Amino acid sequence: MIIDRAVPPVHLHIGGEELDAGSGGVHEHVFPATGEVQGPVPLAGADDVDAAVRAAHAALPEWRAWTPARRAKVLTKLAELMENDREELARLSVLDNAMTHTLSGLLVDIMIGWTSYYAGWADKIEGKVTSVPGQQRELAYTVAEPYGVVGIIITWNGPLVSVGMKLIPALAAGNTVVLKPSELTPYATERVVALAREAGIPAGVVNFVPGGPDAGDTLVCHPLVQKVSFTGGPATARKILSACAESLKPAVLELGGKSANLVFPDANLDTAMMSAAGVVGTLAGQGCAIASRMLVHEDVYDEMAARVVGLVSSLRCGDPFDPETAISPLVTRAAQERVHAMIKRAQADGAKLLTGGGIPGGDLADGFYVEPTVFGDVDPGSELGQVEVFGPVLSMMRFSTEEEAVEIANGTPYGLASYIQTNDLARVQRLATKLHAGGVYVNGAPPVVSCELPFGGVGISGYGREGGLEGLFEFVRTKAVAIA
Ligand code: NAD
């Protein structure tokens, strides 16, 4: 399979205009698999972000005047265009962050699914009719109104998934948007923005400002931005919330995780084991909801550890376009060094290195790879047991009782997802209420986010939900009207 590896030029999109340059300078995009510079990415400066917000604000009256059915139609058209463009979107996603081509195709399909799903909701956003007894207001009703301009700030690991989770429901609900991707991953997202115009979404409804933290901060602080939807790390989320506090602006925060996968002796160990491949093989562990801690009952721990090591050590790092490649590189050299340093500290801390732990050499030496790594008997209180690695590292831990498993699972400040491997339904029901997480997923490899289900965190994994009706209603506010 020969795939074109040329990257397209990147633009800012403001009010329907495509701009070759921004006032924030230029980022030289590096392909993580080779360390080679691929091309310049123009960066939005504060004045570009201001212009984008003003364009989004100017586009609001027209977009809100469209009937919901017309918005539904144009979003359905967008999903069709994405489908037709599937190969190119998948190719660009690989060029963005060097995720495997297999994964990028899957994520494009997920984005298309979310787009169709929320297109279907666009003309079904209803209020309710009620009354206020005793106040002579016999007729009262609620209206779900869009916020206005929404600022969307996303990260580099799955930008197209964030498009489906944030951009599409924001538009379906009648908002206009300024979208700031990470400067590390502009390509596939810009393609979607161009497709949105082609689908018939009016100029200014979707604005695109690639940029770094300063551009994000300008967007959050802009007085015309009515709501912020953010995906990234907890440290950035704190800064964003501080900025939002000034004008009491609401925000949805989708942050990181340190998710636990509880494996009980009655589980199907074949499928339970597959989750280990998901941890190290999903974008080299750079996924927010991966089950990075595998908690295994002592009766099956040794067997599971042997199976997991067999599986993980068979996974190969390589060219992300090669269908045989399971492990892609980390996003930057700094990320590679950070993860490798964590591995070294874990060894010094006494965690047992069962496989991996090194940096591949040879043909891969210029890329930002880390070998898929498994640690055994990790102390739940150690750095490896507590801190999100965001790399291809699985931590295995033993437990002997259900209570102990829950205590370990809940023993970090995160709470994005929990996983249970068991065939005991009563156990599932008991544990689902006890696990401190936004979602509990039972059996098999961890699922990818599905549009029908709300997804989000508790604790420092954030708040607000994406997916399902909950995700749509993050982008409207309810107005009450009561008539005397
Ligand atoms: P990050 O927080 O550094 O950056 C995320 C985005 O925020 C980028 O676009 C960045 O430019 C922008 N930004 C940085 N500083 C800002 C500021 N002061 N104001 C406004 N915007 C600012 O995150 P990262 O390191 O790029 O991404 C990794 C984190 O994202 C991990 O913790 C991961 O778990 C999390 N994540 C969460 C989810 C989820 O849905 N829960 C999904 C993917 C990634």
CATH code for the part of the protein at 260-448: 3.40.309.10
User: Going edge to edge, which strands form the sheet with 417-421?
Assistant: 352-355, 373-376, 393-399, 293-297, 260-263, 417-421, 439-442
Residues 6 or more apart whose CB falls under 8 angstroms from that of 164 comprise 110, 111, 112, 113, 114, 115, 118, 451
- Whether 232 has a pLDDT exceeding 70, the answer reads yes
Region 222-233: mean pLDDT is 98
Cβ of residue 231 lying under 6 Å from some atom of ligand 1: yes
127 within 8 A of 306, measured Cβ to Cβ: no
pLDDT score at 130:
87
Q: What percent of the chain has pLDDT over 70?
A: 99
Average pLDDT over the chain reads: 96
Among residues 221, 244, 288, 317, the one annotated as catalytic is 288
The beta strands (E) that lie in 200-332 are given as 206-208, 225-231, 251-254, 260-263, 293-297
- pLDDT tens per residue across span 100-142: 999 999 999 999 999 999 999 999 999 999 888 777 777 899 9
Torsion of CA 259, 260, 261, 263, to 10 degrees: 180
Q: Based on C-alpha coordinates, what's the Rg of the chain? A: 23
Predicted TM-score (pTM) of this structure: 0.97
Token pair belonging to 4: 């074109």
- Whether 445 has a pLDDT exceeding 80, the answer reads no
- pLDDT tens per residue across span 249-276: 999 999 999 999 999 999 999 999 988 9
pLDDT score at 96:
98
- Whether 206 has a pLDDT exceeding 90, the answer reads yes
pLDDT score at 333:
98
Quick check: is 388 catalytic? no
- pLDDT tens per residue across span 395-442: 999 999 999 999 999 999 999 999 999 999 999 999 999 999 999 999
**Index of the ligand 1 atom closest to the CA of residue 212:** 11
Which residue's CA is minimally distant from atom 9 of ligand 1? 182
Kindly give the distance from the C-alpha atom of residue 346 to the centroid of ligand 1, in angstroms, as a whole number.
25
pLDDT score at 1:
64
- pLDDT tens per residue across span 53-100: 999 999 999 999 999 999 999 999 999 999 999 999 999 999 999 999
Q: If DSSP codes are grouped into helix, strand and coil, which group holds residue 38?
A: strand
- Whether 448 has a pLDDT exceeding 90, the answer reads no
**Index of the ligand 1 atom closest to the CA of residue 180:** 9
User: Going edge to edge, which strands form the sheet with 129-132?
Assistant: 129-132, 137-146, 476-483
CATH code for the part of the protein at 12-255+462-483: 3.40.605.10
Which residue's CA is minimally distant from atom 26 of ligand 1? 155
- pLDDT tens per residue across span 145-200: 999 999 999 999 999 999 999 999 999 999 999 999 999 999 999 999 999 999 99
Quick check: is 244 catalytic? no
Where in the chain are the domains?
12-255+462-483, 260-448
Determine the residue of 99, 110, 111, 155 to mutate for testing ligand 1's pocket, defined as the one with the most ligand atoms within 8 A of the Cβ atom: 155
Kindly give the distance from the C-alpha atom of residue 103 to the centroid of ligand 1, in angstroms, as a whole number.
21
pLDDT score at 447:
66
- pLDDT tens per residue across span 291-335: 999 999 999 999 999 999 999 999 999 999 999 999 999 999 999
